[in-house]
Amino acid sequence: MTAMSIHRPFGARLIAAIDERGPLCVGIDPHPGLLQAWGLPATVAGLERFALTVVEALAPTVAVLKPQSAFFESYGSAGIAVLERVLAQTKEAGALVLLDAKRGDISSTMSAYAAAYLTDGSPLAADALTVSPFLGFGSLTPAVDVALAEGRGLFVLALTSNPEGRAVQHAVDADQKTVAQAIVDQVAALNAGDDPLGSIGLVVGATVGRTGLDLSSVNGPLLAPGLGAQGASAADLRLVFGDAHGAVLPTTSRDVLGAGPSVQRLRDAAARVVEEVRAAVG
């Protein structure tokens, strides 16, 4: 990826990656259970071996890789150093990197997060970042501004599959609109007029069933976690996303990572999931 290409809008780069490699995001989630399943110790060395094997296997063929920041942070500065290598090597191999950090704060703190994760020259800069809008959607403005200026993207939590989320996300405001729908509408406004796709996306769980959300005008990518081990099938994507399925980026982790540590088996597992998604949603 050249220095010039990074400034193309993230939405356009994502569409190109999906067209070339298929509609799939694979999480890099080096939790202790997976390290053990691979025969690796829960140490920085085991973390590095696991994460860089996933990059070697999948970054040349999968559209998006999604390292979960918490699993690297848990090892302190040495773990962050491994994350930096994951980001750099994934980009070098041609995949887009979505850093799953779910950052959400206000004012100068949100600006600092944006500088860390979305700014050229930062060792932790990713192509896109997950963010939380639950301090108020306006709290995301510093990240939105930096992402759009730098040709990067955001995925905003909207409707998640954890049962605790319902109390907030299904709450109704004075206009009788759910919090989740209000988030959808504000993301749609940011993406209005972008072609072929806006750069501000949403996170909507693939396991939530019928959402009750109007996603038709989002004009941005819809990250759909929960495929595979969490219970969602490729066929569920049409149920959850309806006519918006063309903008859906399903994400899976254990369903693919469980095939490791063999590089070839990891690639085969990812290719199988891509074909299942294509068969279900086109």
Rounded to whole angstroms, the Cα distance separating 145 from 150 reads 9
Question: Distance between CA 101 and CA 25 in Å, rounded?
Answer: 15
Q: Determine the 3-state secondary structure of 187 from DSSP.
A: helix
Q: Cβ distance 33 to 26 under 8 Å? A: no
Q: Closest Cα to residue 114, out of 139, 94, 83, 91?
A: 139
Provide the sign of the torsion angle of the four alpha carbons 57, 61, 62, 63, taken in this order.
positive
Q: Would you state the structure tokens that stand for residue 17, as one six-digit string?
A: 């990656």
Dist. CA 67–CA 100, nearest whole Å: 6
Report the catalytic residues.
Answer: 102
